[in-house]
């Protein structure tokens, strides 16, 4: 219980709660738009953003957000260019982002005490008040935008052609969505680590997709799954001294395994009963 | 007098450097039910997409109700090919149909009970009421197509463009869809349908647009859907069945 008395743990729990609210919303749209790897790309790019900030001596959070916004916009244009191979843009930007990050970090080596590994794997000890406020602001913005734009986004995601014919500004909406995803990743990345931030955004929605048949059902279940995964991951991370992002990801995977197994068994039992009935 | 609902002048479109459509001219009158017919690669889907601005036009002018597409948008309904959307999407049949009402409800308001009832009614009309709360991935191809049609119906548009609504559906669905199309026509709506089955053109459509990269001919089915015109459209790759009859049913040999 003593973990709750530490300021950094309290901030970690606050951050986890906020992330659990936004991750399933973004995650579901990313999965349905076939962009689940975009989160990975943006997290690699966001490493470059951090490295740039450290190099030129500006708060890395801001350079990070700036770089990620530019790339998020670029991603939409690349998606248009390679219509049939939309994953190419992801492959290109992911490796370029990583390469730029490594080069910048090497150039800036020695100027800062922050290490690459801290951003690769994340650290709950380093969450500061400013990050919590940013996360809270972001949660409010995403929540409001979701409430306002849920119908247009729903149509855009289900059927882009119809969205166009009814006059929705589809390009604008796509870019805005990418930018929001980018900013979220830039804000969450230092906490859970660049390598696993996408897992935390994608997995709750992906697991929830197996449970609900309605859109809102997926999002609500996703929030519960994210909350359970993140909180228990944090506790595990504290107790075992493991990296938070990795602990959370493993717990989410366990949830996925349990749900898949339970669904399979339920299906099997139902089938069995039907079979026995027809026999008797 | 009949109102002109769609005028297409000098339309052309291309994919990369290959011109798919050129010199497209035609005028569609209100209350007509048109089958757009032509061989594979003739540009049937592209024609619809270019008219609706989904595909860029190289040249030409399209007007709806003697006005622009922008102004007439609310009167235009589009039913894309079934394969163009994600049927694993976590949503129910009723929700998909309700989507067709968003234009009327307003993008930022919630659908009321009245709107839900309207969507349900439309599903009922397509014989899909029992499936209203099914997730769409659990529906058969024909049922999915009916849901698509129901979504178009609630939109209450004046002119509909449908891209192969009868492709790969079962006989019952085909009958249900055709009944609805004829009902739309009777209500004075205009419907343009991309169609691939030459055998049924005469029974289904009162107008035919024969297309192969350009409009071979457009007009009343009786006048246009002749052996000569069909041969011109399909470039002679035809095998005629029941040749003793002038209007023998053609089938395509490719």
Mean pLDDT of A169-190: 90
Say if the Cβ atoms of A218 and B135 lie within 8 Å. Answer: no
Cα A108 from Cα A115, distance rounded (Å): 11
Tokens found for residue A243: 């990296």
Please give the pLDDT value at position B45: 93
Mean pLDDT of A235-254: 90
Q: Please, is A77 exposed, middle or buried when counting C-beta atoms within 10 Å of its C-beta (0-12, 13-18, 19+)?
A: exposed
Residues of B in contact with A161 (CB under 8 A): 49, 54, 78, 80, 84
Which residues of chain B have a Cβ shorter than 8 Å from any chain A Cβ? 49, 52-54, 70, 73, 76, 78, 80, 84-86, 89-92, 95-96, 99, 102-103, 107-108, 134-135
Please give the pLDDT value at position B245: 46
3-state SS, residue B153: helix
Cβ partners under 8 Å of residue B94, min gap 6: B116, B119, B120, B123, B132, B133
Reported pTM: 0.85
Residues of B in contact with A209 (CB under 8 A): 90
Residues of B in contact with A84 (CB under 8 A): none
ipTM, interface predicted TM-score of the complex = 0.80
Tens-place pLDDT, residues A211-231: 888 888 999 999 999 999 999
Residue A172: Cβ within 10 Å count: 10
Mean pLDDT of A102-107: 86
Average pLDDT value over all residues in chain B: 88
Tens-place pLDDT, residues B65-85: 999 988 888 899 999 998 888
A36-40, A204-208, B193-197, B238-242: least confidently modelled range: B238-242
Residues of A in contact with B85 (CB under 8 A): 158-159
Cβ partners under 8 Å of residue A241, min gap 6: none
Do the strands B190-194 and B33-37 form a parallel or antiparallel pair, or are they unpaired? parallel
Say if the Cβ atoms of A151 and B135 lie within 8 Å. Answer: no
Say if the Cβ atoms of A155 and B96 lie within 8 Å. Answer: no
Q: Decide if B79 contacts B149 (C-beta within 8 A).
A: yes
Cβ partners under 8 Å of residue A127, min gap 6: A8, A11, A12, A15, A190, A191
List B147's β-bridge partners, or say none.
Answer: none
Nearest by CB to residue B80, choosing from A32, A162, A167, is: A162
Tens-place pLDDT, residues A152-164: 898 899 988 888 8
pLDDT at B240 over 70: no
Q: What is the CATH number of the domain that holds B244?
A: 3.40.50.300
Of B38, B68, B75, give the one whose Cα is nearest residue B201: B38
User: What is the DSSP track for chain A?
Assistant: -GGGGSHHHHHHHHHHHHHHHHHHHHHHHHHHTT-TTHHHHHHHHHHHHHHHHHHHTS-HHHHHHHHHHHHHHHHHHHHHHTSTTTHHHHHHHHHHHHHHHHHHHHHTTTS-S--HHHHHH--STT--HHHHHHHHHHHHHHHHHHHHHHHHHHHHHH-HHHHHHTT--HHHHHHHHHHHHHHHHHHHHHHH-TTTHHHHHHHHHHHHHTT-SSHHHHHHHHHHHHHHHHHHHHHHHHHH---HHHHHHHHHHHHHHHHHHHHHHHHHHHHHHHHHHHH-
Interface test with B, best of A31, A36, A84, A151 (most B CBs within 10 A): A151
Chain A residue at shortest CA distance from B92: A214
* DSSP element (H, E) containing B228: helix B227-234
Number of domains observed in the structure of chain B: 1
Please give the pLDDT value at position A7: 84
Tens-place pLDDT, residues B187-212: 999 999 999 889 999 999 999 999 99
The CA distance from A270 to the nearest CA of chain B, in Å, is: 18
Tens-place pLDDT, residues A129-154: 888 999 999 999 999 999 888 888 98
Cα B83 from Cα B66, distance rounded (Å): 32
Residue B136: Cβ within 10 Å count: 24
The CA distance from B232 to the nearest CA of chain A, in Å, is: 32
Residues of B in contact with A213 (CB under 8 A): 90-92, 134-135
Say if the Cβ atoms of B86 and A158 lie within 8 Å. Answer: yes
pLDDT at A29 over 90: yes
Chain A residue at shortest CA distance from B152: A162
Say if the Cβ atoms of B78 and A32 lie within 8 Å. Answer: no
Mean pLDDT of A28-41: 89
Say if the Cβ atoms of B99 and A158 lie within 8 Å. Answer: yes
Cα B125 from Cα A259, distance rounded (Å): 38
Domain boundaries, position B228: 4-253
Cα A127 from Cα A122, distance rounded (Å): 10
């Amino acid at each position: 219980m003593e973990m709750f008395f530490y300021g950094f743990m309290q901030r970690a729990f606050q951050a986890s709660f906020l992330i659990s609210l936004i991750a399933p919303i973004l995650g579901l749209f990313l999965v349905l738009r076939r962009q689940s790897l975009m989160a990975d790309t943006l997290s690699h790019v966001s490493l470059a953003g951090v490295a740039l900030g450290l190099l030129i001596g500006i708060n890395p959070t801001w350079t990070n957000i700036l770089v990620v916004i530019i790339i998020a916009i670029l991603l939409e244009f690349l998606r248009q260019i390679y219509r049939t191979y939309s994953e190419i843009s992801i492959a290109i930007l992911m490796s370029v982002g990583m390469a730029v990050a490594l080069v910048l970090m090497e150039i800036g080596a020695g100027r800062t005490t922050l290490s690459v590994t801290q951003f690769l794997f994340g650290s709950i000890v380093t969450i500061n008040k400013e990050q919590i406020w940013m996360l809270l602001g972001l949660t409010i913005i995403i929540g409001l935008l979701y409430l306002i734009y849920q119908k247009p986004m729903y149509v855009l995601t289900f059927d882009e052609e119809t969205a166009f014919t009814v006059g929705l500004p589809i390009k604008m909406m796509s870019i805005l969505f990418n930018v929001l995803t980018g900013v979220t990743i830039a804000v969450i990345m230092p906490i859970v680590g660049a390598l696993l931030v996408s897992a935390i955004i994608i997995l709750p929605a992906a697991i929830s997709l197996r449970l609900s048949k309605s859109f809102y059902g997926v999002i609500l279940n996703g929030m519960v799954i994210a909350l359970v995964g993140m909180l228990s991951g944090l506790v595990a991370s504290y107790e075992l001294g493991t990296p938070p992002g990795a602990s959370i990801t493993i717990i989410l995977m366990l949830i996925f395994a349990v749900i898949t197994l339970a669904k399979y068994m339920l299906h099997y039992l139902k089938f069995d009963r039907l079979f026995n009935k027809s026999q008797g | 007098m009949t109102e002109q609902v769609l005028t297409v002048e000098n339309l052309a479109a291309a994919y990369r450097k290959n011109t798919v459509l050129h010199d497209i001219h035609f005028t569609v009158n209100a209350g007509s039910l048109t089958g757009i017919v032509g061989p594979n690669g003739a540009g049937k889907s592209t024609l619809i997409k270019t008219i609706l601005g989904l595909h860029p036009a190289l040249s030409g002018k399209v007007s709806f109700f003697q006005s622009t597409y922008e102004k007439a948008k609310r009167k235009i309904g589009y039913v894309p090919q079934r394969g163009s959307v994600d049927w694993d999407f976590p949503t129910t049949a009723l929700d998909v149909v309700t989507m067709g009402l968003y234009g009327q409800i307003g993008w930022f308001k919630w659908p009321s009970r009245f709107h839900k009832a309207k969507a349900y009614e439309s599903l009922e009309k397509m014989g899909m009421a029992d499936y209203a709360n099914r997730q769409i991935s659990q529906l058969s191809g024909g049922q999915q197509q009916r849901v698509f049609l129901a979504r178009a119906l609630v939109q209450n548009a004046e002119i509909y463009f449908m891209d192969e609504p009868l492709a790969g559906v079962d006989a019952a669905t085909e009958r249900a869809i055709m009944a609805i199309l004829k009902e739309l026509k009777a209500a004075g709506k205009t419907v343009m349908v991309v169609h691939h089955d030459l055998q049924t053109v005469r029974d289904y459509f009162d107008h035919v647009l024969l297309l192969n990269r350009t409009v071979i001919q457009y007009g009343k089915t009786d006048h246009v859907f002749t052996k000569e015109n069909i041969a011109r459209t399909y470039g002679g790759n035809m095998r005629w069945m029941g040749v003793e009859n002038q209007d023998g049913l053609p089938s395509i040999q490719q």
